[in-house]
């Protein structure tokens, strides 16, 4: 069942580091766009996509992390620093996703408008993790109904920066959130076709917790919620036993994580007489190639849902929700 948190969001969503209000930051930074487009730098492709949807023709958005880039270990480059210090607004995820960049954002937030778009989510809807005391699973984009709240956060940040366009941003966010609810409904219906005994999603790292909660799947990640954690031999051996004992038919690689652990599992299961297929490559921490349908947030989730459902026994249209998926992608 989809976990809808939209009614639990606070009226004021903006979460900006440094202890100052959004208005204080914007006054301090001084908008540089004037009659030009609002310059936005976003860390992940998912956030950049949300900013483009909400900002429309009023914004120019740059994503720091492109296809296949792992945000857990990403460190800002010289060109990243230059772009962010010149931007009117910097959007990052928060929840310890960009773990290597947190100190930089703390410093930048004293000079520029810097918003952690997922930090405003109510803590009671976030998933904790035994390995990370006091921190939460950051992969909230895996549930489109939760992602609507991040879209609203982006709209709030833009409205505070350019209040004269607030109505436009609100209307764009509302339109896009309707599309996200259509996506969530497609996911619910499509994943509901997977046989109950096959609703096990085994992936390279534990990025699909919110997906599992929303669509009633057991999720097993070889690594933890951060790809910086390592999977030891005992963990691999344990999961080989799980594959064999439960006759799990497919495991999934991720486009932003090495596939070596998945292949080790498949080889281990094969040595015990159980064949496991690679169910496909999923987009976990990064979207697809720029300019493609899979290079949008909706395309990313459509691809994942359709790939997972098809590999685990559901009868699905390989073109996905609206026939836009590239077959074989």
Domain CATH number, residue 150? 3.40.50.1980
pLDDT at 326: 85
Q: What is the value of pTM for the model shown? A: 0.86
| Same domain as 132, residue 206 | no
| Same domain as 293, residue 217 | yes
| Same domain as 193, residue 178 | no
pLDDT at 227: 47
pLDDT at 224: 56
| Alpha carbons 141 and 246: distance in angstroms, whole number | 29
In a domain, 204, yes or no: yes
| Same domain as 253, residue 146 | no
- CA 302, 304, 306 angle in degrees (round to 5)? 65
Last residue of one domain, picked from the residues 116, 151, 186: 186
| Alpha carbons 158 and 38: distance in angstroms, whole number | 9
Total domains in the fold of the chain: 2
Residues 6+ apart with CB under 8 A from 78: none
| Same domain as 251, residue 130 | no
| pLDDT over 80 (residue 61) | yes
In a domain, 325, yes or no: no
| Confidence label for 73 from pLDDT (cuts 50, 70 and 90) | confident
pLDDT at 258: 81
| Same domain as 163, residue 22 | yes
**Full domain range(s) for residue 228:** 189-311
Q: How much of the chain exceeds pLDDT 90, in percent? A: 70
Last residue of one domain, picked from the residues 186, 210, 232: 186
pLDDT digit string, tens, across residues 129-149: 766 677 899 999 999 999 999
202, 243 in Cβ contact below 8 A?
A: yes
| Same domain as 193, residue 79 | no
Q: Token pair for residue 126? A: 């976030």
Q: Which of 4-13, 105-114, 142-151, 255-264 has the lowest mean pLDDT?
A: 4-13
Average pLDDT over residues 66-95: 95
Q: Which of 23-27, 129-133, 180-184 has the lowest mean pLDDT?
A: 23-27
| Same domain as 271, residue 224 | yes
pLDDT digit string, tens, across residues 81-102: 999 999 999 999 999 999 999 9
In a domain, 322, yes or no: no
205, 284 in Cβ contact below 8 A?
A: yes
| Same domain as 292, residue 166 | no
């Amino acid at each position: 069942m989809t976990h809808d948190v939209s009614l639990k969001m606070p009226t004021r969503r903006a979460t900006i580091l440094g202890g100052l209000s959004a208005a204080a930051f914007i006054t301090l930074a001084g908008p540089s766009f004037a009659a030009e487009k609002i310059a936005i730098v976003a860390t992940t492709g998912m956030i950049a996509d949300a900013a483009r949807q909400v900002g429309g023709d009023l914004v120019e958005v740059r994503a720091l992390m492109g296809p296949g880039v792992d945000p857990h270990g990403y460190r800002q480059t010289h060109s990243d620093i230059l772009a962010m210090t010149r931007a009117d607004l910097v959007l990052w995820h928060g929840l310890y996703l960009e773990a290597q960049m947190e100190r930089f954002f703390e410093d930048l937030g004293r000079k520029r408008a810097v918003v952690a778009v997922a930090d405003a989510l109510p803590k009671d809807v976030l998933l904790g993790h035994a390995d990370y005391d006091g921190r939460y699973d950051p992969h909230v984009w895996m549930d489109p109904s939760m992602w609507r709240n991040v879209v609203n956060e982006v709209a709030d940040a833009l409205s505070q920066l350019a209040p004269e366009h607030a109505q436009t941003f609100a209307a764009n966010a509302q339109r896009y959130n309707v599309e996200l609810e259509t996506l969530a409904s497609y996911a619910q219906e499509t994943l509901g076709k997977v046989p109950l005994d096959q609703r096990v999603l085994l992936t390279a790292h534990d990025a699909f917790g919110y997906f599992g909660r929303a669509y009633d799947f057991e999720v097993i990640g070889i690594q933890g919620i951060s790809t910086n954690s390592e999977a030891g031999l005992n963990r691999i051996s344990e999961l080989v036993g799980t594959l064999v004992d439960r006759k799990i038919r497919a495991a999934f690689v991720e486009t932003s994580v090495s596939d070596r652990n998945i292949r080790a599992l498949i080889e281990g299961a094969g040595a015990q007489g159980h064949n496991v297929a690679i169910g496909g490559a999923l987009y976990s921490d990064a979207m697809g190639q720029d300019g493609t349908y899979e290079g949008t947030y909706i395309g990313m989730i459509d691809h994942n849902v359709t790939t997972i459902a098809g590999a685990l026994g559901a009868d699905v249209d390989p073109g996905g929700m609206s026939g836009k998926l590239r077959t074989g992608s």
